[in-house]
Amino acid sequence: MEERSVTRAAERMGMTQPALSNALLRLRQMLQDQLFVRERYGIQPTPIALKLSPLIAEALAQLDDAVLGQQAFDPAHAERLFTIAPNGYVEFVIVPAVLARLEKVAPGIKVRLTPFGNDLAETGVVSGTTALVLGRIVDPPDNLVVQHLMDEGLACAVRAGQPAIGDAMTREQFETMKFDCSVAGGGLADDHHVTIISRLAIDRVPFWRWRAVR
C-alpha cells in the first residue's frame, strides 16, 4: 500500500520479488479481487484493497504489541549465545567491530562463528540453529529475511612508480599484466569473484592466482 511497487515492497520486507508476487497471487485468489492494478507510475490499490488496508494495519499493530510484549530484551543484562555465519571477508572487516560493540553494550552476549561459503543450508540458518548470515546471499528461500548491508567491489593496485601505468589503469593494460588476486580474511574466493575476474581477464592474462590475506 505504501510503496506502490512490488519490487520495493519486497526489498522492504526482506523478500525476493517472485516470492512476494506469489504471495500476492494467493491473496488475490482468496479474496477474489485484483487488489492492485498496474498503472503508468506503479500499481494502485483497488477499492477493496483500500477498504481492507486500515483493518489489516490495526490487526498487525495488535499482533506486534502482543508479540513484542513477550520479547523484552535488555542487552545490558542479557546472557545469550548467538551463532552467526560470516563469510571470510565479513569476518575480517565487520565482525571485529561488532564484537567490540557488543563488549560495551551487551557484555553477556556471546557469539559463536560458523563458516559461510556459498551454501545457506550448511550454515544452519535455514533450520534455525544459526541466527544470522553475513555475506553475499544468492536466491534465498522464502522463509529468510534478507537485508542489504553494503556494496563492495574489486580494486586493482600497482606499486608506486610502476612504469607501465600512469594515473589510471585501462582495461587494455589490465588484460596484458600479470596479477595476484587476494581475498581479505583468509577465505577462498567464491564463484562470484571468479566470474568477475574471468569476464575481465578473458583469455589474455598471462598469469593469475588467488591468495588469501589477513
pLDDT tens sequence across 93-141: 889 999 999 999 999 999 999 988 777 777 888 778 899 999 888 777 7
- Report which of residues 53 and 155 the model is more confident about: 53
- Non-local (6+) Cβ contacts of 52 within 8 A are 31
| pLDDT-based confidence at residue 211 (cuts at 50, 70, 90) | very low
In single-letter form, the type of residue at position 186 comes to G
- What domains does the chain contain, in order, with CATH numbers? 6-68 (1.10.10.10), 73-151 (3.40.190.10), 153-214 (no CATH)
DSSP 145-169: ---------------TT-TT--SS-
Looking at residue 82, its pLDDT comes to 92
Looking at residue 84, its pLDDT comes to 93
Lowest mean pLDDT among 14-18, 30-34, 85-89, 191-195: 191-195
Backbone angles phi, psi at 209, to 5 degrees: -150, 165
Does residue 187 contact residue 87 with C-beta atoms inside 8 Å?
A: yes
pLDDT, the chain, mean? 78
Q: Which of 118, 93, 101, 111 is nearest to 186 (CA)?
A: 93
Looking at residue 186, its pLDDT comes to 47
| pLDDT of 171 strictly over 50 | yes
| pLDDT-based confidence at residue 88 (cuts at 50, 70, 90) | confident
Mean pLDDT of 30-34: 91
Backbone angles phi, psi at 133, to 5 degrees: -120, 135
Cα-Cα end-to-end distance for the chain: 47
Alpha helices (runs of H) in the chain, residue ranges in sequence order: 6-13, 17-31, 47-68, 88-93, 95-105, 120-123, 171-176, 191-201
Looking at residue 111, its pLDDT comes to 94
User: What are the beta bridge partners of residue 72?
Assistant: none
Does residue 84 contact residue 133 with C-beta atoms inside 8 Å?
A: yes
| pLDDT-based confidence at residue 69 (cuts at 50, 70, 90) | low
